[in-house]
Structure formats: C-alpha cells, structure tokens
Amino acid sequence: PQPNPQVGAAVKAADRAHVFHSWSAQELIDPLAVAGAEGAYFWDYDGRRYLDFTSGLVYTNIGYQHPKVVAAIQEQAARMTTFAPAFAVEARSEAARLIAERTPGDLDKIFFTNGGADAVEHAVRMARLHTGRPKVLSAYRSYHGGTQQAVNLTGDPRRWASDSGTAGVVHFWAPFLYRSRFYAETEEQECARALEHLETTIAFEGPSTVAAIVLETIPGTAGIMVPPAGYLAGVRELCDTYGIVLILDEVMAGFGRTGAWFAADLFRVVPDLMTFAKGVNSGYVPLGGVAISQKIAETFARRPYPGGLTYSGHPLACAAAVATIEVMAQEGVVENAARLGAELIGPGLRELAERHPSVGEVRGTGMFWALELVRDRETREPLVPYHATGEANAPMAAFGAAAKAHGLWPFINMNRTHVVPPCNLTEAEAKEGLAALDAALSVADEYTR
C-alpha cells in the first residue's frame, strides 16, 4: 500500500480527541497510527515498517492476517455471525474439542470467556465454590488481568490503584534466582526455599481458608521467569496435600509461546483449572476461557454454575480458534517456536549479552524471552528503578527509540525488554530482529556504570 500521511494524521487526530487508552495518562501518550500489518510486520501511514517483536500484546502467535484464519472468519460471518451461548453451535463445539484435545491431563471441559481477565475471574469463582473456601494465593511479579479480582491477584503496580484490601488474595514470592528473595545461589536452593516459603504461607494463612493457588506457569509481563525444575510439581503436591485448587494461568504462555502447546507440558504438571486467551486464536477476535478438570466439572454437574457471558463461545471467535489451531498443527508453528528459540534466538541473545554490559541476564524458552537490563552487572542494579516514570525511565525510553529507529518494535516493561515475536517467525526475521536489538543495546550500554 502507498504511504498516506494525510489519512494517518486524521486517524491520529480522532484517536487523540476521543479514544481513552488503557493504563495511560491520556495527554502523555503519542500512539502510532498503524496503516496495516502482515505476518511479523506492521507499518504506519508514512510507509515506515516495523518488525513486531511484541506480537501485539504477546498474542499474535501466528502473526497478523494469516490468510486461512481470515478466510475462516469471513466464512463464519457469512454463515452465522453470532448465536446465544445456551445453544450447541458448530464453531463453538469444534473449538472446545480441539482445545480439550491439547490441554493437559483431564482438562476436558471448556468454559469460554471474552479474554484473559474474565477467564481468571471465573477460574477463581469455580475454585471458591468447589472448595467452599474464601482465599486465593498468588505471586508477586505476576499479571492476571485488569478486572477487579484479576487485578487484585496481580503482583505488580497495576494492582495498587484497585487494591480493595477485600479481594481475598494473599501474595507470596515465587522463585526468581536472579533477584532471589531467599538468598539462594543455585536453582535447587531457590526451588526448595520457594516451596518452603509457600508451604509456610499456607500454614500461617490456614489451609482450610485457601481455595486456590494461582500462578502463571511461566510469568510473562512480570519478566519471563522460567521456574526451576521441580517447583511446579512441588506446588502441585502442596495443593494435593492441603486440598487447594491449582489454577495455572496460561493466557500468555499458552498456545505455542513456550515451544509447547502449553507451558504446563514443559513441566509435566496438570492443574485443576487452566486459563487461556490470546494465542488461542491469535487475538483475531476476542476469546478466552477456562479448561476444567473432571473433579471440578463434577461439582457443577448437578448444581448450576453461577456465572456466564452473553458472548461465551462467540461463533466468530471460535471459528478463528478452530482455524488457528489447525494452522498451528499443519504448519508446525509450535515446533518452529521450540526450534528457533533453542537454536537461534536463545543463542543469539546470549551472544548479545556477552558483548553488551547492559544485559544482566537472558532467560526464556521458545518464543518467550526476557533481557534484564542493568546499570551494573555485579550489583545487578536495574537500568531504571522499579516502576520508574519520566526522567527516571530515560534509559529504557532511549533503548526503545533506538530499536524503533532500526525497524524493530520492542516489548518493554520496567528494566526489561522481552523478545516475544510470532511463533511462526522465520530464521531471516529472527536474525533481522537480533541485529536491531544489537544496535539498540549499544544505546542502553551508554547508561551502564
């Protein structure tokens, strides 16, 4: 398409006049007007093209505008755009079947929601009703969504403004060796001490008061901390011991992101409830859900589940999910994420870390990587303070601007950049992105001591 700055200016002007943006001080933002997108790229109205290493908000796992998924949405729109949730509808039935075939263990019933936060809300409600207990434990350094219960589960500053103090949530520390809360020096120590801390938290909170433990299988926005071997199995064991429901949140980690269909597969752990959204249909139409184990499904076999949504299992969203899952299977998208992560992106990022003093740690798997940027590798002082804004955030802003100047759209959260491109990225695109990161990290290096 030809660049068209005039249209871009009109799009931007209407946005600035009328669109109220998420998580933002409305007058301090400057959203880019986007003209189009395809595969791993998008472009603006001035004809500038960017390689998208964010997958939107880590959800376009098969890239933008996959022709087979676009066609499936068009076909569904022509046949049956929508239908109420109480009916059996082909696209919905088929999406549920394909998801249940891939979810771990006996998670064979699917409750559809509109996105990730409401999936988490419903999972917690199911756990409370199943156990008859009030409280939920979740981790610091986590994100579970923007609605009231989900944001109260969240363990980052996005919770603060909505923290009611009455959400029935208790936070604990999950393992993160690079910034260990447990004075650990090895993954084994971190794992054992994090489990001991969790068991003590359960004991002091009172096991009979705890309905669920909610964990991102691999925490995403909070920093892509791959848990040490044995941690999630240990959490599973604690849940079994104390009759607590294990909810794994795979809204970001699910559907190929980690190089497996679900991150839980990497650790051979089966939760009682698992939330998903994003990658289920690459976000082409909003969709999320809860995969439910036999045990919890039985609780609602003869007793109504008190919850629902007008758009639960919306046919357009479900048709997009069916096509996305078929594309992922046919095109080996999950395998591509695993292979490219292990053979090219992981090694490429480690090589960058050797040359750039601003990189404190590289961690991740599949198409799910984080670079922890630091002022000083010895002290591990973050490149910007926790929750920095304005001048204090200047080094990360400079890093981001440099990446964009080199044609890469980076994911930035606090002192980290995440490398989370589409799971069907090509080798050439991966190399292009690594080269742009190389250039941008040279700017970050200028802020090291």
Options 204-212, 248-256, 350-358, 379-387: segment touching ligand PLP (CB under 6 A): 248-256
If one asks whether residue 115 binds ligand PLP (CB under 6 A), the answer comes out as: yes
Helix (H) or strand (E) holding 424, with range, is none
Cα(357)–Cα(359) distance, integer angstroms? 5
Contact residue for ligand PLP among 35, 192, 247, 252 (CB under 6 A) = 252
Q: How far is the CB of 146 from ligand PLP (least distance, A)?
A: 6
Question: CA 19 to CA 332: how far, in whole Å?
Answer: 38
- CA–CA separation, 232 vs 265, rounded Å? 11
Tell how many helices (H) and how many strands (E) occur in the chain: 15, 16
Residue nearest to ligand PLP (CB): 116
Binder to ligand PLP among 98, 251, 260, 352 (CB under 6 A)?
Answer: 251
Applying CB under 6 A, among 117, 137, 292, 444 the residue interacting with ligand PLP is 117
Q: For ligand PLP, how many residues bind (rule: CB under 6 A)?
A: 17
Q: Which of 165, 172, 180 is nearest to 140 (CA)?
A: 172
Assess contact for 399 and 436: CB atoms under 8 A.
no
Distance separating alpha carbons of residues 401 and 412, to the nearest angstrom: 11
144 binds ligand PLP (CB under 6 A): yes
When asked if residue 69 is in the footprint of ligand PLP (CB under 6 A), the reply is no
Q: Least Å distance between CB 344 and ligand PLP?
A: 25
d(CA 130, CA 212): 10
Contacts of 383 (CB under 8 A, 6+ apart): 358, 373, 374, 375, 395, 396, 399, 415, 444, 447, 448
* Residue among 50, 111, 143, 231 that touches ligand PLP (CB under 6 A): 143
Among positions 392-431, residues that touch ligand PLP (CB under 6 A) are none
Name the residue nearer to ligand PLP (CB basis): 288 or 348.
Answer: 288
**CB nearer to ligand PLP: pick between 76 and 114:** 114
Query: C-beta of 407: minimal distance to ligand PLP in Å?
Result: 25
Among 39, 56, 63, 145, binds ligand PLP (CB under 6 A): 145
Secondary element (H or E) of residue 105: none
Q: Which is nearer to ligand PLP, 44 or 52 (CB)?
A: 52
Give the Cα separation of 213 and 202 in Å (integer).
10
Point out which residues bind ligand PLP (CB under 6 A).
Answer: 57, 115-117, 120, 143-146, 216, 220-221, 249, 251-252, 277, 288
